[in-house]
Each structure stands twice: as C-alpha cells, then as structure tokens.
Structure 1
C-alpha cells in the first residue's frame, strides 16, 4: 500500500490510538469539566454532564488501552525481549487498572451516594467528597502516565 510497510502503518495506528485516548483524557478532565462547572449555574447538571464525559472516556480507555497493551506485549515477545523490564507495558497496565478502579469501583459508589440524596455537610456529602478526591487522583495519574507515553512513544529505540 503506497510503499508503506505494515510495521510502519501499525506504528502510526498505535500513535493515533494513544493520541486519541490521552488527548481525550486531557480535554475531558482539564478543559471540558472545568468549563461545565464555570458556565453552568446548576452544579448538579455540570457534574452529571462531566460524569458522562468521563464515563465515555473510560470506555475509550479500556478499548484503546487494551489494544495498545496487547500490541506492545506482542512486539516485545516477538523481539525476544524481557517484557517485565519494559516500562511501557507497566505504564499501560497501570493506566488500565486505574481506569477500571475509577469506572467500576469509585464511580458506582459515587452514583449510589448521589441516588440516596446528598445533603450539605452530611456524612454522605463527606463520603462523596472523599470518593471524588480519589477519583480525581486516579484520573490525574492516568493522564500523567499517558502523557509520558505520548512524550516517549510506545516503541523502544
């Protein structure tokens, strides 16, 4: 195909997928969510909309991250390399674990608290605040790990 090798095409696909995932994380978390809270008078609506954006990005991350992880592992194994020493594998694995914890542990707990009704200064409000803090830390770690992969690349030199 136009004289481009399969390996080169796949490398471009990997870079594009990584850019889609990590770029989406940064836009969702550091652009969209703050804009929602800054422009909407209804903080509950802003939170619901931001939650939907984060939920979509979680699914994008699970799909894209899984493909990228399998690709990097396969490449390292084909090269008879020591996969356990390949930091990119650990970074992608950590990102996926953080997304799974956020999407399937923390977020459902937050939704359950909100469904029960949160009164200001109540125990539920404090619990929600703690969960939101944990969720924010998980998101920040994921986005920073992703940024490191974008900066260095998925392929070793």
Structure 2
C-alpha cells in the first residue's frame, strides 16, 4: 500500500510531500460479502455504482469476476482478475489532494447469477482522524491547473457524502468543496 502511494506521489513530482502524506494516513481492512441487491433492476447488481471517498482501495477479488468500472464515455468495463492479483482504485480524497490529476472512477459489483456468492478483501487508506484536512499541495495549483477543491475535513465530507443531501447529487465531492 505504501509503495502505491509512493509511486503516485513521485509521478506527480511531489517527493518532498511523501513523508508528511504517509504520516497523515490510517489503514482499513474489511472482508466484503456480496449478494444480490434487493433493489436490483435485473442485472444481478450486488453493489450499486459509487466512488470510494478514501485515498486508495486495494481489492483482492480471489479470482472472482464482478467488479466493473465506468469509463468516461459511460461504458462499463469488466475487471478481469488474474491469479494472485489486486485491483487498485483511486478514491475521492486522492482526487481532491491531487487537484483533479488523479481520477476516482465510478464502479459497481455484479454477480453472475442471483444465487452467486462473492467475497473480496478490501484494504484502504484514509486520512488519520487527527490529521484529516485534504488540501492540494501548492505545487499542483497554477494558471493551467486552477484550484478545483477547497481544503476540507475528510470525516466531515464523509458525513455529507452519505447524508440524504450527499446521496442526491451527481458529484458529492464537487458539491461539498468544489471551487
């Protein structure tokens, strides 16, 4: 997980921010059991389309298909897991921190059939509760890359994101802190 953060930060030319960024992280792990959503519209949806609010999600799908990622043109692309592989998704916190240079994809989980069981292990990085201000480094803001998101407290954003108001908007991050 740390290596992925390092690769991203280096790709943005922000090596000087690595230590402070890594010191601001907390880690989460969850075991997900997917089953047919009762509100499914006939496509065996187990997890509706959404974006992750965190920095990064690393999904260990155990060779089970079902994760789909929405392309910019609206087409749903199936993730094809390989043996001993992981799927890495960027979340909204990293999108805001990178001033929009990183893309947080919309994704969903589908089952092959109504009775299929699907399990996955999901590792995530989130801001530490005592250091949860998300703010783009000044090096990523210039005349060609205007500030896209005002600095915000991550856990306040998560409360908004999962509120009735946050669920009603198309882009919760933009609605919450967009410039």
Which one scores higher on RCO, CA 8 angstroms, separation ≥ 6?
1
TM-score, normalization: structure 2?
A: 0.24
| TM-score, normalised relative to structure 1 | 0.27
More strand, by proportion = 2
